[in-house]
């Protein structure tokens, strides 16, 4: 996490907590010539609406103006994480058990670095994913330390 995203997290966490929302992710990225501060929020049930996003945006904007932690010009975007929300925290993975996921690893496991399938289990050391290769289903154990990126995915084969 960058210094800017850490500062933004300190500012937005009390806001989302007060509104009984969940902070999913924060990004500060440059796209072309423009910088974007993206804050992804959701309800615990996963059904946030645009009005709730607007509340967070207005209150966070006031805090950012007051504390001024970002020196360059940027666009603030507050939105839902969407159907393919990232899995970052332990709690995210536990909630995702039984759901279709995409996991990318730092190094190959059985010659592969990308796995898409159903998260069968998530424990202290491993995530177990059922993947399909052609007509075969395989179960793959992925050590948690090898996970570079994970998100929910959409199963188009179902």
Region of residue 46 (phi > 0: left; psi between -120 and 50: alpha; otherwise: beta): left
User: Which residue is it, tokens 């933004």?
Assistant: 8
Question: Domains along the chain?
Answer: 3-79 (3.30.300.70), 90-152 (2.30.30.180)
Instruction: Give the pLDDT confidence score for residue 110 in this predicted structure.
Output: 87
Give residue-wise pLDDT tens across range 36-95: 999 999 998 888 999 999 999 999 999 999 999 999 999 999 999 988 999 988 999 999
Q: In what order do the strands lie in the sheet with 136-143?
A: 136-143, 126-133, 112-122, 100-109, 147-152
- pLDDT of 158 above 70: no
């Amino acid at each position: 996490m960058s210094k800017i995203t850490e500062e933004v997290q300190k500012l937005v966490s009390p806001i989302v907590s007060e509104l009984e929302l969940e902070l999913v992710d924060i990004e500060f990225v440059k796209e072309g010539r423009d910088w974007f501060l993206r804050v992804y929020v959701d309800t615990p049930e996963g059904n946030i609406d645009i009005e709730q996003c607007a509340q967070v945006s207005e209150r966070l904007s006031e805090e950012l103006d007051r504390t001024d932690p970002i020196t360059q010009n940027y666009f603030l975007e507050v939105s839902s994480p969407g159907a393919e929300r990232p899995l970052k925290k332990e709690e995210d993975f536990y909630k995702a058990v039984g759901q279709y996921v995409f996991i990318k690893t730092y190094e190959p496991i059985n010659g592969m670095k990308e796995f898409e399938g159903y998260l069968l289990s998530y424990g202290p050391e491993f995530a177990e994913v059922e993947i399909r290769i052609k007509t075969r289903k395989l179960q793959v154990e992925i050590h948690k330390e090898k996970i570079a990126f994970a998100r929910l995915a959409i199963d188009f084969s179902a």
